[in-house]
A and B are shown apart, each in its own frame.
Chain A
């Protein structure tokens, strides 16, 4: 009997597992459906920047446009090029999507809350690793394989060039991106995202962006590197419509194509959340003692500001040339971040 109880997990463990499963399902549901709104928002932002209304016809102010597009993409013929490497071609979009979703495991959306009826305290994150930052960097890095393998498997020159560019860009900016994360770790003394947010509790002057003088510089490094990691304009060399048609996704159609789009949008959401958590105090209100707005809404609101910012940037800046991209990565961001690590370290020791 004692052996059996040793083997069988206890009631508390089961409850914990159920809780984690429920949280996973909720977050996956939200993240999978968020692109529907984001695509609509992006088209609206693009439209209004160019003084046109954007999608208007399906639903009020075109809100259901992306639903219609999604349905269209699902029913579209799924073309696989005849000389493509079929298996790799099929799994590449999945490889791109899974890491983009997995990153959300560690992202905290708030502290713990009490759920009324079952009287149980629930944390608003799935897991609080003590190496969460490294986990995000590592897992986020995997999604480039989706782009690389997808481009290679399509057996097309444009796609191959796109995937090679994606790889080179990824390698170059991963370094600066990780350095920026190290900067955050140095400023807050922790690798866990929950602790990073707690280090910024209180007034908005505690936020990392106002950790003068290094905070704003770290933010700039992080943001530029994030733009490059996300493959968004001005660094979207790997899907450059001007010179590569659509880069690695040129041969993709139907649902596989939308999986790539889904991966890109969920990566954008996760990077925006990370910007908020790393530099803008996470779920903290700028002034403590505004109790009306719950912390989760603060996080979501700040995140949407960043998402909007990413979109405005997309319709403002032209694309950089490829050599300029490499120059910015290797000759500006990496040396700058090395110097900043030194300065931040000195500040931590001396102050």
Chain B
């Protein structure tokens, strides 16, 4: 178990460092690269939680599809111009506000919720694909369908916007 804690610390530190890089670096392609690293680390954390299905799906969906599209758009940006632009000052207080709320939330979760209760999954309790599927299609069928409808709406919306612009 010692090895798992060491691995957890390595993955977590890399994830945090690279996500800091995502927000601080100027070059959008580098940011996308660090976002990939972050997501891969999160997938590794899922693996440590004995949930290989979630880890693999995380890599498959986010790294394999979403970020490819992301990078696809970023590649077309004039990088020199994009890295010159900085955030407008008037949005800064808002950003700091959101950051503060998130920080407080995390601290509440850690200290009020009790840090000692949070621990890696019990050894041997591997989450099976069948379990996830059964849960999704029985207990969680309603939220699942709602999410699907939301995605469908987004898709239709995108198509409608594309058609309008061409006409």
Contact = CB atoms under 8 A, between A and B. Distances in A.
Answer whether A and B touch in the complex at a CB cut-off of 8 Å. yes
Interface of A: 6-7, 9, 85, 88, 129-131, 134-135, 137-139, 141-142, 144-145, 148-149, 151-152, 160, 163-164, 167-168, 170-171, 174, 178, 191
A320 B156 CA distance: 30
B4 to A, nearest CB: 11
A170 B72 CA distance: 11
Given A138-B59, A138-B63, A130 B75 contact: no
Which of B33, B65, B68, B76 has the most chain A CB atoms inside 10 A of its CB?
B68
A191 B129 contact: yes
Interface in B32-73: 33, 36, 52-53, 56-57, 59-60, 63-65, 68-69, 71-72
Contact of B59 (A142, A152, A163): A142
A171 B63 CA distance: 12
A148 B59 contact: no
Nearest to A136: B56
Contacts of B29: 85, 88, 149, 152
Contact of A137 (B1, B27, B60): B60
Given A88-B29, A134-B57, A148-B75, A129 B52 contact: yes
A160 B75 CA distance: 8
B2 interface: yes
Contacts of B134: none
Contacts of B69: 167, 171
B74 to A, nearest CB: 9
B56 A130 contact: no
12 contacts: A9-B3, A131-B53, A131-B129, A141-B60, A142-B63, A145-B36, A145-B71, A149-B71, A164-B75, A167-B71, A167-B72, A171-B69
Given A130-B128, A130-B129, A171-B69, A138 B75 contact: no
B72 A164 contact: yes
Contacts of A135: 52, 56
B129 A138 contact: no
A13 B6 CA distance: 18
Contacts of A130: 52, 126, 128-129
Contacts of A163: 75
A149 to B, nearest CB: 7
A131 B56 contact: yes
Contacts of B65: 141, 171, 174
A170 B36 CA distance: 17
B60 A134 contact: yes
B136 to A, nearest CB: 15
B64 A142 contact: yes
Interface of B: 1-3, 27, 29-30, 33, 36, 52-53, 56-57, 59-60, 63-65, 68-69, 71-72, 75-76, 126, 128-129
Given A88-B33, A141-B64, A134 B56 contact: yes
A163 B68 CA distance: 11
Nearest to B43: A138
Nearest to A153: B29
A288 B2 CA distance: 47
B30 to A, nearest CB: 8
Contacts of A144: 68
A167 B65 CA distance: 10
Contacts of A152: 29, 75
Closest 5 CB pairs of A and B: A141-B64, A138-B60, A138-B59, A134-B56, A167-B72
B36 A139 contact: no
Nearest to A171: B68
B9 to A, nearest CB: 16
Given A171-B65, A171-B68, A139 B52 contact: no
A84 B97 CA distance: 38
B72 A168 contact: yes
Given A168-B72, A171-B69, 8 more contacts: A85-B29, A88-B29, A134-B60, A141-B60, A141-B65, A148-B75, A167-B75, A171-B72
Nearest to B61: A138
Contacts of A191: 129
Contacts of A170: 68
A88 to B, nearest CB: 7
Contacts of B53: 131, 134
Contacts of B68: 141, 144-145, 148, 167, 170-171
Contacts of B3: 9
B33 A131 contact: no
Contacts of A164: 72, 75-76
A141 B65 CA distance: 8
A81 to B, nearest CB: 15
